[in-house]
Amino acid sequence: MVTNASYQMTCADIEEAATDILTLIEGLDPDSYARSRLTRTTVAERLRRIARHLALLPAEAREAMPELDWGGWSELYSAMQAGQAGVRQEWTAASEMAVLVLQWMRVYRQPA
């Protein structure tokens, strides 16, 4: 069972990683992202962190957040674990999925 404190810390870490990603890719297009090894390495680490946190959330937490692309995050996490995540998959996660996860984590982290 996830305690409220650990859930809040998880959400905060996800928010931080997503904010880092959005800052790192600001002004980049997919080609620029693909050419930047330093940015890609840092973004991939943050994506892995988000995906790992999301994978470890209990089912009831995932069900409470239907707006997130759970399948997309799961696929990304599996691909990253296997060393098979490509530039396109990373870019999509960084430029689209990270925005949504940041938005919804902020909403769901608010006290009821």
pLDDT tens per residue across span 48-102:
999 999 999 888 888 988 999 999 999 999 999 999 999 999 999 999 999 999 9
pLDDT score of 104? 87
Q: What residues does each domain of the chain span?
A: 4-109
For range 6-30, the mean pLDDT: 93
d(CA 12, CA 54): 12
The number of residues in the chain equals 112
What is the CB-side half-sphere exposure of residue 13 using CA atoms within 13 A? 16
> What residue spans of 26-69 are helical by DSSP H?
30-35, 37-56, 59-63
| CA nearest to 50, candidates 74, 25, 14 | 14
